[in-house]
Each structure stands twice: as structure tokens, then as C-alpha cells.
Structure 1
Amino acid sequence: MYQRILLAVDGSQSSDLALSQAILLATATGAEVKALFVADDSDAFFDVAYFDARALMESIRAFGRKVLTEAAGKLETAGITHTTQLVEKPVAPGQISATIVAQADAWSADLIVLGTHGRRGVRRLLMGSVSEGVVGKSSRPVLLIRSEVEG
């Protein structure tokens, strides 16, 4: 069964739901959980002539550390053996899904768990779908946890 669960987190409601499911699975199977946050600024669009790229990335990293600390606290409370990892450089800019799959492969995960935002229509086309990319790129089982559909 599942002994190594890679949990991709991003601080969203669907990510919190995915964490809850990972805890349930890990409790049932005795699995270890690795919580992963991929820091990537390539989705940021700016209509201004100047922005501080270093400050933006530090802000993303700080947010990622906060999300991982919160996930670790919940895993600890549940008695789950766990680690966390902040990936500061995706395999390529904008390739969060490929980065998640590469990390799952490198860690020999038995299962990838992540939330999906339920975007549809133009928002999905513009923003893409990390979860869809993970499913398409991974040879490992993937458990998608869907939150309420975004408006």
C-alpha cells in the first residue's frame, strides 16, 4: 500500500482539504508524508514598468515557508512521520506540475496528493491546471482533492 505520500501544498482551500486526506491515508497505512511547496513567480503578470523580482521571490518563499509550517503542525498533531520541502527553483519557469512529478520520482513516492481548484472556462485556459499537468506527467497514482468550484 502507500508508504510514501507526496503532498503538494499551496495554501489554498483545496490544498488544506488535500492535507486532511493525506493525514487520513497516512494514518490508515502508516505512511510517511512529504509536504512540498514549489516557489514559482512565472504566473505573476505585471502592468507596471518596474517591480522588484527579488522582493517578489522572497515574498513567495516566505509564504511557502508559512504554508509548510502550518502543514507540518497538522501532520505533527496527527502523529504522522513527515518532512517538508520548499522548492525554490522549478524544473523550468512555470512548470510547477513537472516539478511536483520530478520531486515525487526523486523521493520514490507511492502516491501524489494535491488539491484542484475547479477552475473552468477562460480562467482555466489562462491559469492552466497544475493538477491536470501532474496527472498527465506522472506514472504514479495521483489523488486529486477538489474544493468548491471557483466563480
Structure 2
Amino acid sequence: MYKKIMVAVDGSSMAMLALDEAVKLAKSQGAELTLVYVIEYPHVYVSDLGYDPLPVTEALVVEGRRVLDKAESLVASQDIAFRSLLVDNRTSTDSIAEQLRKVADEQQADLVVLGTHGRGGFKRLLLGSVAEGFLRLSTHPILLVPGKHDIDQHANA
């Protein structure tokens, strides 16, 4: 049924749960898995603010590569085909959700797997989560993976 599964990773525990589900699906379907990390640049990332943005840029790229390396090492032992993409669109004004949609389109993903919460925190309260934004934009099937805390909270409601 699924031949190309895309999963977004950001280093959060929720993304790791989504990765686990994506790996299970890819194994059961014989699908190729694409791991995607989108570098999130601060909104004040402007080169004319009087500072050198290169150290910030380098640190964000290093963090993205670290997250992808960790995800790759987990997937590599599972005997499934996979690739990873570090999305670095520092000049883009697109949201993370919009960038993920573009990657899903480019990769012709049959399914996109996302954790329900990532690194959003207070920002998520103001702007909405990446998962919610992606859900509104995407034309691809989506599997949203809730965290254990979310499941426990729902069960006790």
C-alpha cells in the first residue's frame, strides 16, 4: 500500500515516537523511508542586524545533522531502505509545515508521519503546531502519532 513514507524528525521525544511508527510501517509495507529535518531559523535572522550570522547558521546545521545522524543510526539497523534530507532554506519565509509539504510533494510521499507535538512549547500556543499546520496544507495521507502523555490524558478524561 505505501511505498514512500516520509517522517519529520526534530530531536523531540514525540518525533522519536513518530519515527518508531514510521519504521514499523516501512518494514511491514516494504516501503522506503525518508527522514526529514527542517532547520528552523529565528525570525530575526537577518544579516544586516550588525552581527555575523554564520556561527548561528553553522550551529543550526550541526544540530540538524546531529538529529538526522541519530535517526539514521536507529533506522539503519532495521533492514529498510531509507534516505535523509536536511532542509536548509534560510532565506525562505515558509513555515516548517509549508517546507515539509514541499518535501512531501517532491518525494512523492504516499504517507507522512508526524508526532503531534515537537519542540513548539510557548511558540506552539501562539502559532499552532507544525503537525496542525501540515494537516491543513497537505494533500498526502498523514499519520499523527500522539505521545504517551497525550494517550494517558485522553484515557483518564
Partner of 2:88: 88
Partner of 1:10: 10
SS of 1:144 mapped into structure 2: strand
Separation of aligned partners in 2, 1:65 and 1:18:
18
Separation of aligned partners in 2, 1:60 and 1:120:
16
Separation of aligned partners in 1, 2:128 and 2:93:
14
Q: CA deviation at 1:43?
A: 5.4
For residues 4-50 of structure 1, what are the alpha-carbon distances to aligned partners after superposition, in whole Å with 9 as ceiling and x for unaligned?
001111000000001100011011100000000011213579xxx87
Q: Unaligned 5+ residue runs, structure 2?
A: 151-157
Q: Does 1:114 align with 2:114?
A: yes
SS of 1:143 mapped into structure 2: strand
Question: Over alpha carbons, which structure has the higher Rg?
Answer: 2
Separation of aligned partners in 2, 1:25 and 1:41:
31
Q: Does 1:33 align with 2:33?
A: yes
| Root-mean-square deviation over aligned CA pairs | 2.6
Partner of 2:135: 135
Percent identity over the alignment is 37
Larger mean CA deviation between 83-92 and 22-31 belongs to 83-92
| Residue identity matched to 2:34 | K
Separation of aligned partners in 2, 1:119 and 1:23:
21
Which TM-score applies when normalising by structure 2?
A: 0.82
| Residue identity matched to 1:131 | A
Which TM-score applies when normalising by structure 1?
A: 0.85
| Residue identity matched to 1:25 | L
Larger mean CA deviation between 71-80 and 109-118 belongs to 109-118
Partner of 2:69: 69
Q: CA deviation at 1:51?
A: 5.7
